[in-house]
Structure 1
Amino acid sequence: MRGFDLFLCAVLLLSIVALLWPFFFYPLILRLLPDDPEQPEQGPRPTASLLFCAYNEAAAMPEKIANIEAIKQRHPQLEILAFDDGSSDDTAALIARPPDLVTLVRGPGRSGKAHGMKRLAAQATGEVLIFTDANVLLDADAIDNLLARYADPDVGGVLGSLHYVGEGESATASVGSLYWRIEERLKDEESRTGNVLGADGSIFSIRRALYPEFPDSVLDDLTVSMAVVFAGKRLVKAKDVIARERLVTGRGDEYRRKVRIAARAWHTHIHLRPQLRRMAAIDRFKYASRKIVRWFGGLFILTGAFAAAVLAFRISPVLAVGGAVLGLILIAIGLRAKGGLIAAVVDIFVAYAATLQGVIKAMRGRTVTIWNPAKSR
């Protein structure tokens, strides 16, 4: 085998390893790391404020309000605040309708979730700030179990566990559910060995004293949760703090959502970069493995596919053309199918493409500050 062929093989192998790193090699390494147990102490539980932002979530509000009412009955002292980001439907009216249940803060128009959460955090009085989403429902004992973890004074933030509903409704939903189950297990392992490297917005909390300042262009959940790590406190995950959310079933909705999240994630990375460099080596390794490598998964697919195509062409042009045609046929089938293995594989590639597009968009200076709820949820 000539030198150029060896180079192509190396590129293909490295692309495969990089693509599999966050989901296979990284979890294996985490399992080899020792436990870092929490050290709870006796004392009263902290007071808390529950915060969420909403935009045109009228369809989800009746169930959300019922969930909040059940939580409030169990925790009468829990402060609950909501930010309405200029909804054009009945979202704000539905939130404000039950008297003395939720403190509603109305935005001036479309200003985005990060802006809204900053407004709520500035107004909240609880010692612990609990963040969730407008379409997320919390289990009855979620608040109890979450606040119990703050018995350890070294714990500065606690993540919950997100359970998705509607897995079998489409290939997009099935892939999303599989991805999230892997993500939850990674967070469990990260928590067991020290710090989780970042939260999502479904359910997480921090001590109010650690809440940082940040621009509206970043992901507020990642920025706020990472402030715990930067402060030298522990960011842990609680398996018994359960939130439930319906999966996005439409491929277009999921694509746009991933582009938006990836763009904001890259802006967040740039904003946090000076502090990221000062983290402990193990936390830098975790962050790079679960965040940065994954953001460029689409690029690894492209380089691996290019190397494989050139190798195939050098072996046999007919083989290369036949493989390319077969690949295009399978992609076309997968894009048209509503379910099945081929559709699921295509959805995985689509997710990588959306993430890469979002990162490139952010690298070019584009920002995304507002969001729209997925119609297919």
Structure 2
Amino acid sequence: MELVHKIIFFMFGFIIFWGMVGYPFSLKVISHIYKNRKLVKDYNHQPTVTVMVVAHNEEKVILHKLKNLTELNYPKEKIEFLITSDNSSDSTNKIVNEFIEENKDINIRLYEVRERKGKTNAQNEAQKLVETEYLVMTDANSLLDKNSISELMAAFSSPDIAYVTGKLSIINTEVSDISSSESSYWNSDLAIREIEGNIQSITAGNGALYACRNKDYYNFDLIKSHDSAMPLHFVLKGRRAICNHDAIAYEKVGEEVGDEFGRKIRMNRRILEKIIPDIRLLNIFRYKWFSYFYFGHRTCRYLLWISHLLVFISNLMLVQHSIFYAITFTGQILFYLMALTKLVTKTDNKYLTLIYYYNVTIIAQWIGVYNIFTGKAKPFWEKAETTR
């Protein structure tokens, strides 16, 4: 049994290390090999575009969003706006209709989803109304830089690029230690995505701002999110999914741990499927760097919940066998105690906050797994008020 415990300890310990440290470091090394690969842009590429906004009970932000859309720097005769209200029961629809009435020179319309089935369903329904060449998706609480649409379109510089996501810039970084921790994580993730996209393809986008050709749109299962499903879908078809971080969307993240915790639970509603979403990804001869990217950036991180548990248990079984295992087990205990210290004392120490935030992420994964097995994983959710 000792050998089994050692195998478990080192195998799942490697998964934790590689996902959080090894893979990001390896990308920095690889990026030097491909240092001449940069995003090529074609600013003469200005096709017709529909900007779709899915909104459910967004009366607090929808007017600000509508005004923001009218300020975009893109030819007016080539852009239109489609607000998709996912069975809103507040004043969202009224506000949008009043805005349409007051701005008849703007090509904007409202589509009302009659039964709330979540964001992906709302997108699937509304896309059938789109006749433009390209489709841009953005969230109701995201404010777009005036050049964001031009930047997205410029990035479609070759036929093999099927998906382009922009950069989500967090605007409430300093409001709380939770928003600061999320911002730190997000900034490091953005750097990883840029390298992945320059070399081949990103493994996931973000819901704040992304685009695809309208003819390439695919009706995904309602429980799936475009953030993770779209890039993978296109890569498996031999296309590329990339990012253009000059296309910027500004957004708030949760300022309270409960808000970010809820968001992370929602993100993990299909965590088991995402570990290896398609067996074809194991074919490194066909998918090349993307197989490597997905294992390091997604598979290892989606396995953190079980990896931490198995490393802890196997380490406990080995603790009496050598000083090495005694030290690693003590380190684990201290790691979790530091997270508990942050929870109890509410200290502003940034290192304790990062450790606490990391543990919150792991717990959210566990709840995501629990929701899958109990049938509680749903395609819709209640928004975090501190993000509005």
Q: TM-score, normalised by structure 1?
A: 0.87
CA drift at 1:225: 3.1
Cα gap change, 1:242/1:327 in structure 2, threshold over 3 Å: closer, same or farther? Answer: closer
**What SS is found at the alignment partner of 1:52?**
strand
| 8 Å contact from structure 1 (residues 210, 227) kept in 2 | no
RMSD between superposed Cα atoms in Å: 3.1
Match of 2:361 in 1: 351
Matched, 1:339 2:345: no
Matched, 1:373 2:383: yes
Q: What residue ranges of structure 2 are gaps of 5+ in the alignment?
A: none
Cα gap change, 1:87/1:66 in structure 2, threshold over 3 Å: closer, same or farther? Answer: same
Match of 2:20 in 1: 23
Q: For structure 1, which segment, 36-45 or 292-301, has the greater mean C-alpha deviation from structure 2 after superposition? A: 36-45
Alignment of 1:243-254 (within 5 A): 243-254=249-260
Matches of 1:127 and 1:321, distance apart in 2: 57
Matches of 2:125 and 2:251, distance apart in 1: 24
Paired residue for 2:226, among 220, 227, 237? 220
| 8 Å contact from structure 1 (residues 23, 182) kept in 2 | no
Match of 2:278 in 1: 273
CA drift at 1:191: 0.8
Paired residue for 1:296, among 293, 300, 303? 303
Cα gap change, 1:48/1:265 in structure 2, threshold over 3 Å: closer, same or farther? Answer: farther
Matches of 2:359 and 2:309, distance apart in 1: 10
Paired residue for 1:118, among 112, 120, 124? 124
Q: Which runs of 4+ in 1 moved over 3 A?
A: 6-16, 35-44, 72-76, 264-270, 274-279, 307-316, 318-332, 363-367
Matches of 1:138 and 1:157, distance apart in 2: 18
Q: What residue ranges of structure 1 are gaps of 5+ in the alignment?
A: none
CA drift at 1:126: 1.7
Deviation per CA, 1:215-251: give whole Å up to 9, x if none: 2121133223333223322211112111111011111
| 8 Å contact from structure 1 (residues 228, 235) kept in 2 | yes
Equivalent residue pairs, number = 372
**What SS is found at the alignment partner of 1:130?**
strand
Paired residue for 1:176, among 172, 175, 182? 182
Matches of 1:274 and 1:14, distance apart in 2: 21
Match of 2:267 in 1: 261
Q: For structure 1, which segment, 9-18 or 138-147, has the greater mean C-alpha deviation from structure 2 after superposition? A: 9-18
**What SS is found at the alignment partner of 1:143?**
helix
Matches of 1:319 and 1:157, distance apart in 2: 47
**What SS is found at the alignment partner of 1:215?**
coil
Cα gap change, 1:322/1:210 in structure 2, threshold over 3 Å: closer, same or farther? Answer: closer
User: What amino acid is aligned across from residue 292 of structure 2 in structure 1?
Assistant: F
**What SS is found at the alignment partner of 1:144?**
helix
Matches of 2:113 and 2:206, distance apart in 1: 23
**What SS is found at the alignment partner of 1:82?**
strand
Match of 2:243 in 1: 237
Percent identity between the two aligned chains: 22
Matches of 2:139 and 2:315, distance apart in 1: 42
Match of 1:306 in 2: 313
| 8 Å contact from structure 2 (residues 45, 154) kept in 1 | no
| 8 Å contact from structure 1 (residues 11, 304) kept in 2 | yes
User: What amino acid is aligned across from residue 196 of structure 2 in structure 1?
Assistant: E
Matches of 2:56 and 2:291, distance apart in 1: 35
CA drift at 1:294: 0.6
Matches of 2:147 and 2:331, distance apart in 1: 53
| 8 Å contact from structure 2 (residues 86, 114) kept in 1 | yes
Matches of 2:340 and 2:54, distance apart in 1: 38
Deviation per CA, 1:265-297: give whole Å up to 9, x if none: 545678x52664676132222122211211111
Matches of 1:321 and 1:191, distance apart in 2: 38
Deviation per CA, 1:18-37: give whole Å up to 9, x if none: 21323322233334253555
User: What amino acid is aligned across from residue 17 of structure 2 in structure 1?
Assistant: L
Cα gap change, 1:273/1:326 in structure 2, threshold over 3 Å: closer, same or farther? Answer: closer
CA drift at 1:203: 1.1
Cα gap change, 1:191/1:73 in structure 2, threshold over 3 Å: closer, same or farther? Answer: closer
Matched, 1:205 2:211: yes
| 8 Å contact from structure 1 (residues 218, 268) kept in 2 | no
Matches of 1:57 and 1:79, distance apart in 2: 20
| 8 Å contact from structure 2 (residues 312, 329) kept in 1 | no
Q: For structure 1, which segment, 226-235 or 50-59, has the greater mean C-alpha deviation from structure 2 after superposition? A: 226-235
User: What amino acid is aligned across from residue 290 of structure 1 in structure 2?
Assistant: H
| 8 Å contact from structure 2 (residues 253, 260) kept in 1 | no
Q: For structure 1, which segment, 351-360 or 252-261, has the greater mean C-alpha deviation from structure 2 after superposition? A: 351-360
